């Protein structure tokens, strides 16, 4: 038998029927900084609530499909063998380095780039920060275009 939620008030029924799904922000930050409390109670102008999923690079597996008409980014979160979830993020906020001496998460970043998910600080700029020669080449390209307005040191 399936469990059903009992709705006694007609306005509750309307609210459930018209409530848009929340916007999911995937925050990549492994320390104890609590982004959920920062966004707690936040809604967008269209009334959608903001849901935060905070993880470290080591805790996620990225699946991306851009071949269908409904391109999806699927993130599997595995913090422990007991705590697993699947997330469909609408936005990404990256607060931890992609590469450390003990971890290389560039393949995860590439998956985010492939899915074209929006983020603060472009995913391209985060990727380029891992390869100094590529980053400097890109900066010199901008300098050639803008001249003295964009000096490169």
pLDDT tens per residue, range 38-54: 999 999 999 999 999 99
Dihedral sign for Cα atoms in the order 33, 22, 111, 76: positive
Backbone angles phi, psi at 36, to 5 degrees: -60, -40
- Going by pLDDT thresholds of 50, 70 and 90, the confidence category of residue 99 is very high
What pLDDT shows up at residue 4? 37
- Going by pLDDT thresholds of 50, 70 and 90, the confidence category of residue 69 is low
pTM of the prediction? 0.76
């Amino acid at each position: 038998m399936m469990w059903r939620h009992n709705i006694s008030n007609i306005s509750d029924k309307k609210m459930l029927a018209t409530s848009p799904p929340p916007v999911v922000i995937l925050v990549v930050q492994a320390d104890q900084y609590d982004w959920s409390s920062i966004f707690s109670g936040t809604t967008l102008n269209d009334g959608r609530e903001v849901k935060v999923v905070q993880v470290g690079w080591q805790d996620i597996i990225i699946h991306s499909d851009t071949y269908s008409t409904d391109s999806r980014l699927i993130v599997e979160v595995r913090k422990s063998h007991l705590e697993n979830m699947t997330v469909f993020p609408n936005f990404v906020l990256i607060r931890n380095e992609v590469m450390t001496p003990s971890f290389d998460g560039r393949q995860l970043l590439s998956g985010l780039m492939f899915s074209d998910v929006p983020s603060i600080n472009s995913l391209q700029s985060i990727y380029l920060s891992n390869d100094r020669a590529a980053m400097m080449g890109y900066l010199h390209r901008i300098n050639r275009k803008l001249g003295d307005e964009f000096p490169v040191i």
